[in-house]
Amino acid sequence: MFQKPADTQTPILEPLAQRWSGRAYDPARPVERSQLLAVLEAARWAPSCFGYQPWRLLIWNRTEDDGSWQQAFACLSEGNRAWAGQAPLLLLACAETQFTDGRPNRWAQYDTGAAMMSLSVQATALGLMVHQMGGFDAGRIREQFAIPDTFDCIAMLTLGYQVPRDQIPAELQERELAPRSRRPLGESFFERRWGAALKT
């Protein structure tokens, strides 16, 4: 996996700085079962309201069941299908919208996002690449895979190994090689009152 580290304003942990959402997957390199279990274990230990763990992940492995992988792949938006077809694994992150007693869990999506961040950082540390996507047909995937109504379909993810830099397809090179950027700290983080930029 070629490196494209974040240009941080202050040093952070290496897997956090190295994590980025690439699109150029190596279709010939499957993800080992031990690697998959490790990223799922990282997600399992994410924090959640009351320790409720509202996240559920549905996983499709192209090397083990191409038919179901293709069904899930067909639920992606056209733009995502243009590159995601090379990823060996597709995942769907769902969030349980109510607690066991029937009360709404308004933190479910927040907690599921935390679990996906844990998964992504662990994947980066293992040399894997994750790309999270909002572009998919949630109604279609719910129907095709019998997802209960009490779960929101939050995001789909690709998981796999990146192709070497010199093998990135021409149509992906501009996006894959583009520098990464974020707003300065003071534009997103405030002190004492809204809009008062954090001093750095």
Where in the chain are the domains?
14-188
Distance, in Å, from the CA atom of 85 to the CA atom of 195, rounded to the nearest integer, reads 42
For 35, which DSSP code? H
The 10 Å Cβ neighbour count of residue 146 is 6
Residue 1 pLDDT > 80, yes or no? Answer: no
Is residue 73 within 8 A of residue 134, CB to CB? The reply is: no
Give the model confidence (pLDDT) of 142-177 as tens digits.
Answer: 999 999 999 999 999 999 999 999 999 999 999 999
Amino acid at 60: W
In this prediction, residue 2 carries a pLDDT of 80
Give the model confidence (pLDDT) of 57-112 as tens digits.
Answer: 999 999 999 999 999 999 999 999 999 999 999 999 999 999 999 999 999 999 99
In this prediction, residue 182 carries a pLDDT of 95
Distance, in Å, from the CA atom of 79 to the CA atom of 152, rounded to the nearest integer, reads 22
14-188 carries CATH number 1.20.1090.10 = no
